[in-house]
Amino acid sequence: HSGTPELEPIAARSRAPAERRLQAERFLSAEYYQRPGEFADILTATFPPASPGAARMREAGQCRLVFDAYAQRFDLAARIWLLAPHNPLHRATIAHNRLFNPALPPGTLVLGFEPDWTASSSDPPFS
């Protein structure tokens, strides 16, 4: 969430989607993604206001995030949190996602997924 102050003005300055996307990609690739030590362990995702899927996930309180990246499969056990608008991760998620989807509606929900690393795995194993 340390990049939030830089992300918000990019979206505010540029109305043209291609220009906004280009500015965002420049910042993210040159600055943001070059500081992995500043990333939080909590993954985030946006959902429409009053999303039934988000409500079911919040009610369950936990989930498994299974995905493939860079020839590796990840299976993460995670707790689910509804992030309040004042939460820095909520603000960062909205700022980031507005760069690529400026039509995010007011009241967009942000869920946080906190991995339980002891109950998670990857194939091949991550070292």
- Dihedral pair phi/psi, residue 20, rounded to 5°: -60, -45
Supply the DSSP string of 77-120, one letter for each residue: EEEEEEPPTTSHHHHHHHHHHHHH-TTPPTT-EEEEEEE-GGG-
Counting residues of the chain whose pLDDT is more than 70, the rounded percentage is 76
Judged by average pLDDT, the poorest of 28-37, 38-47, 55-64, 71-80 is 28-37
Pick the CATH number of 4-116 from 2.30.110, 1.10.3470, 3.30.470, 1.25.40: 2.30.110
More confident residue, 31 or 63: 63
Are the C-beta atoms of residues 115 and 43 closer than 8 Å to each other?
yes
More confident residue, 126 or 89: 89
The whole-angstrom separation of Cα 24 and Cα 6 is 9
Give me the chain's average pLDDT, please: 85
* Biggest alpha carbon–alpha carbon distance for the chain: 44
- Domain ranges in the chain? 4-116
User: pTM here?
Assistant: 0.78
Rounded mean pLDDT of 13-23?
72
Amino acid 1: pLDDT? 46
Counting residues of the chain whose pLDDT is more than 90, the rounded percentage is 54
| SS3 assignment, position 2 | coil
